[in-house]
Amino acid sequence: MDQAGILREYAGNAGVTGGRDASTGRSKKSGVRVIAVTSGKGGVGKTNIAANLAYLFSMQGKRVLLLDADAGLANIDVLLGIAPRYNLCHVLRGEKTLSDVVVRGPGGVMIVPAASGIQEMAELSRGHKMTLIEELECFGEKPDIMVIDTAAGINGNVTYFNMAANEIIVVLSPDPTSLTDAYALIKVLNRGYAIRDFLVMVNMARSAEEAMRVFSRLSAATDRFLDLRVEYLGYVGYDRIVTESVRQQALFTEMYPSTRASRLLGAIADTLMNDRKSRSDEPGMLKFFGNAVITGNE
Ligand SMILES: Nc1ncnc2c1ncn2[C@@H]1O[C@H](COP(=O)(O)OP(=O)(O)OP(=O)(O)O)[C@@H](O)[C@H]1O
Ligand SMILES: [Mg+2]
């Protein structure tokens, strides 16, 4: 058996996902759905979208784990005004367990804070990835959904976390460079990692029409040059409420649940929860296992 096979077996025995129930012999997928929020260009609103989506899912009764996978600066903890003692770095170094570092955010969302500005986190080694997988496996409170806030761009961590996801939400803004950068990211994920399905949302649009125009430009390019599917999820308008809640270190969907931005993101959360089920036949956590073997330096 190859390494990926051994790991899958291990995952099955340990009862993660995709294993078999000893009594029934049926596949017992735990059904953890992994959703990555990503973008080509920075500053398009990924962290805000990821954190607010996580909150909206938890309001629908889901157990949600929000993983801050951006090793850059100022992330979910800053957005929420929390000062966690430990972060992902402690887990990856084997100093703490996932349970030790998880902090509860709004709506009971379980947050794994990022290791900001630490050079060794910039490109996770294979050992780090294995540790993360083991920690997710041993984590007592199995989430229904794991939302991953990735860094912008195309470094190794970004591709890794996108590969590990069942669904990838690419966030665009009306800025033309966001479009070209998103196209470049999608192309790399498609050509280099055989990912063929992408969900797209537009943030900070001035109107529904503008958002649709932005999406159409992207889909025209992907349809023409790449063999993949981009699906429009919806948009969130440019809204001072978002900046205001960032200033107050709170989530706009929690603070201002009935404003336009919250309703638009709520519609996207509903679409993800109700109208479209995860398309992947491979549970995300299991993908984590396989991909950790395929990628990563020693
Ligand atoms: N819909 C919106 N309306 C107005 N401002 C917004 C909106 N969405 C995000 N912003 C603002 O844009 C800024 C960047 O947002 P955010 O940090 O979520 O982006 P990001 O894509 O995670 O950035 P990075 O690539 O640096 O991680 C924030 O200051 C936020 O207030
Ligand atoms: Mg961010």
For position 228, which CATH number holds? 3.40.50.300
**Average confidence score pLDDT of the chain:** 84
> Residues with beta carbon inside 6 Å of ligand 1?
39, 42-48, 70, 152, 203-204, 236, 238-239, 242-243, 246, 261
Q: Does any domain span residue 291?
A: no
Q: Does any domain span residue 18?
A: no
CB 4 within 8 A of CB 290: yes
Show the tokens assigned to 10: 């291990």
- Report how far apart, in Å, the C-alpha atoms of 28 and of each of 6, 21, 115, 133, 263 are: 18, 6, 33, 19, 35
Ligand 2 centroid, distance to 73 Cα (angstroms)? 8
**Residue nearest to ligand 1 atom 10, measured at CA:** 45
Ligand 1, closest atom to CA 51?
18
Q: Does any domain span residue 290?
A: no
Number of domains in the chain: 1
Q: What is the pTM of this model?
A: 0.88
Output DSSP code: residue 135. H
Q: Best of 242, 245, 255 to mutate for ligand 1, by most ligand atoms within 8 A of CB?
A: 242
Alpha-carbon distance of 284 to 213, in angstroms, equals 32
Q: Does any domain span residue 14?
A: no
Question: pLDDT tens across 204-228, in order?
Answer: 999 999 999 999 999 999 999 999 9
SS (H, E, C) 237-281: ECCHHHHHHHHCCCCHHHHCCCCHHHHHHHHHHHHHHHHCCCCCC
Q: Does any domain span residue 6?
A: no
Q: Which of 40-44, 55-59, 217-221, 284-288 has the lowest mean pLDDT?
A: 284-288
Question: pLDDT tens across 75-129, in order?
Answer: 899 899 898 999 999 998 899 999 999 999 999 999 999 877 677 777 888 888 8
- Nearby residues for ligand 2 (ion, Cβ within 5 Å): 46-47
Q: Best of 37, 38, 41, 48 to mutate for ligand 1, by most ligand atoms within 8 A of CB?
A: 48
Range of the domain at 196: 32-269
Burial of 119 per CB tally in 10 Å (0-12, 13-18, 19+): exposed
Ligand 1 centroid, distance to 43 Cα (angstroms)? 5
**Residue nearest to ligand 1 atom 19, measured at CA:** 45
What pLDDT is recorded for position 29? Answer: 47
Alpha-carbon distance of 285 to 165, in angstroms, equals 8
**Residue nearest to ligand 1 atom 18, measured at CA:** 45
Q: Does any domain span residue 274?
A: no
Q: Does any domain span residue 4?
A: no
Q: Does any domain span residue 36?
A: yes
CB 148 within 8 A of CB 34: yes
Output DSSP code: residue 72. S
CB 158 within 8 A of CB 24: no
